Amino acid sequence: MIITIICDVLGEENNGTTITSKRLIDNLKARGHEVRVVSPSPIKEAGYYQVGTYNFGVFNKYVAKNGVSLAKANKPTILKAIEGADIVHIMLPYSLGQTAIKICKERHLPVTAGFHTQAENVTAHVGLKNARWANNLVYKYLRHVLYKKVDAIHCPSRTISVIISKQNFRVKKYVISNGVDPMFKHIPTPKPEGLEDKFLILFVGRFAHEKRHDLLIDAVKYSKHEKDIQPIFCGEGPLEEKIKARAKGLTNAPILGFHPKQELVPILNYCDLYVHPSDAEIEAISCLEAITCGQVPVISDSPASATNSFALGPEHLFNHRDPKDLARKIDYWIEHPEEKKQASQKYLEYSKQFAIEGSIDLMEKMFKDAIALHKEPLKK
């Protein structure tokens, strides 16, 4: 197939959408498909079409702290990239994606779209993450500008498929995990020098409101083993200084920093526990990568997070409104090392279903179904 992928965000692998986009592109190419990519990324390779980015004026610093650049729509560039394509896949419902869907509809091209932006990812920036009316408005807007116009929607989890179905997204949905790169695997790894006697708790996620680093910090403060715990937060984002300020008073200040996947694999292997406190997640590929490396997770039970579907028992969940409950779960795993070892083996087996090969199989099927759907009216 000739597949054109429209990526409003594509650059450094510091966010889930970019990671997902690059893995999809690379794996489709590996299977022999011709993949064209429209994005703001200056990649000097065949098949890449670069567009400009928006200037947000006084908000440029804030956007930069989020580690992303948003693409500016460019109709001539999109037209070049979709010429002769069998299908177009839109990653995000922003300016580039919105322009692409208009062009594709005019040319009767089959189009699919990924659902990678949860309403809470938007409303959290303006302090309205928990306002139902605000989240409903965001979903209504997303449905109107893109998702009601496509032939199929890729939902990375059943949770988000249910959520958008309740929001009147009536297009056919395909529940397909974003998939875990084979680089992530269990490799026994010693702890770094100076951390050998610490219980290392890891969370991988952007430094953003909905990720709830604050909740994990508070839980460590309540833990009976606070002096022995070393939090490690892998990521970057606008709340870095607030996270540091929140952690004041901890015996061991969190270790913060962004790490490419080559550096992340050993970190995922030498830590003792993975905690995912985020309030809103469509899938959380970082949690899947953690369990694929043998980490035992403790996950927020937030109804807006799909990640809690990875919990294999109540001991892997905590009340998303209660840091003391998270502290109790952390203490449980510190005090039950043999059970943690057994749970690690269970998660290693469980994680096999999320290998990216299976995800690409299903993405190919979605593309072929959408192409066939477009041909049906021509047969009549």
Q: How far is residue 336's CA from residue 327's CA, in Å, rounded to a whole number?
A: 14
pLDDT in tens, 188-199: 999 999 999 999
Q: How many CB atoms lie within 10 A of CB 56?
A: 13
pLDDT computed for residue 377 by the predictor: 55
Which residues have CB under 8 Å from 209's CB, separation 6+?
A: 124, 125, 129, 239
Q: How far is residue 269's CA from residue 66's CA, in Å, rounded to a whole number?
A: 27
Mean pLDDT over 206-215 rounds to 94
Alpha helices (H) in the chain, listed in sequence order: 16-30, 60-65, 75-82, 95-106, 119-123, 132-142, 158-166, 213-222, 240-246, 261-270, 285-292, 323-335, 337-350, 356-379
**Residue 62 banded pLDDT, cuts 50, 70, 90:** very low
pLDDT computed for residue 55 by the predictor: 62
Mean pLDDT over 6-12 rounds to 83
Mean pLDDT over 348-355 rounds to 95
pLDDT in tens, 263-318: 999 999 999 999 999 998 988 899 999 999 999 999 999 998 999 999 999 999 99
pLDDT computed for residue 294 by the predictor: 96
More confident residue, 55 or 155: 155
**Residue 128 banded pLDDT, cuts 50, 70, 90:** confident
**Residue 127 banded pLDDT, cuts 50, 70, 90:** confident
* Neighbour-count burial of 287, counting CB atoms closer than 10 A to its CB (0-12 exposed, 13-18 middle, 19+ buried): buried
pLDDT computed for residue 283 by the predictor: 86
pLDDT in tens, 164-185: 999 999 999 999 999 999 999 9
pLDDT computed for residue 173 by the predictor: 97
Residue 29 scores a pLDDT above 90: yes
Residue 14 scores a pLDDT above 80: no
Looking at mean pLDDT, say which of 42-46, 236-240, 361-365 comes out highest: 361-365
Q: How far is residue 229's CA from residue 223's CA, in Å, rounded to a whole number?
A: 9
pLDDT computed for residue 89 by the predictor: 98
More confident residue, 134 or 127: 134
Residue 68 scores a pLDDT above 90: no
pLDDT computed for residue 58 by the predictor: 39
More confident residue, 123 or 242: 242
- Print burial letters for 89-118: b (CB count within 10 Å at least 16), e (below 16): bbbbbbbbbbbbbbbbeeeebbbbbbbbbb
Which residues have CB under 8 Å from 219's CB, separation 6+?
A: 275, 277, 318, 323, 324, 326, 327, 330
pLDDT in tens, 313-339: 999 999 999 999 999 999 999 999 999
Question: What are the respective helix, strand and coil percentages of the chain, to the nearest 5?
Answer: 50, 15, 35
Residue 59 scores a pLDDT above 60: no
Strand partners, 273: 201
pLDDT computed for residue 17 by the predictor: 80
